[in-house]
Chain A
């Protein structure tokens, strides 16, 4: 079965510091991997996705993630946190042969201190 684990339900960083949100997955076939952000009382916004090709994926708002097959990881990073980055972040995996069904992690709440 496929699954996603996000390490750390809550991460706190100072403004300007590096953001690192961890995601590990399990999959028996090459996965498609996604990061979404959710602001309070809103739906999900796609930050970035990996399907095939280059393993370092750049997304919106300065975020990027690297697919590491050997580590089954897809960690999300941003060099310098901004107050507006405070939100809930979800990692998800989709299997190309399952029509786009997403399996989500439990989420990581990011707090940014001034």
Chain B
């Protein structure tokens, strides 16, 4: 059992709305990263947080933003939703020295209508 949980599991929004996705990381892991996985594609890196600071960002616009809290849980916020934002959003946690995420959550599937 990975210990990474995400909520909600599914979400339906309309274009222009805002959404907040949540992630609780594996105990002891201080690094959390977020990925977007469109249907039939590999995951794409959105950004990573380490000790509550953004520590790397992929090719996503500023309307994608995040937070990491002192307990290492995290939020992904997306403003002004577009149809192309429909995807599975994955949260992953790791230790600083692992070189990459070890544990992924089950994801939140977002549908934008």
Chain A contacts to B: CB under 8 angstroms: 4, 32, 34, 36, 42-46, 49, 51, 90, 92, 94, 96, 98-107
Q: Which residues in A have their C-beta under 8 angstroms from that of B35?
A: 102
A43 B104 Cβ-Cβ under 8 A: yes
> Chain B interface: which size bin?
20 to 34
Interface residues of B in 49-108 (CB under 8 A from A): 50, 55-56, 58, 90, 92, 94, 98-107
Our count of residue pairs bridging A and B at CB distance below 8 angstroms stands at: 70
Inter-chain CA distance A104–B105, complex, in Å, is: 17
Chain B contacts to A: CB under 8 angstroms: 2, 4, 6, 31, 33, 35, 41-45, 48, 50, 55-56, 58, 90, 92, 94, 98-107
Q: Which residues in A have their C-beta under 8 angstroms from that of B102?
A: 46
Q: Which residues in B have their C-beta under 8 angstroms from that of A32?
A: 99-100
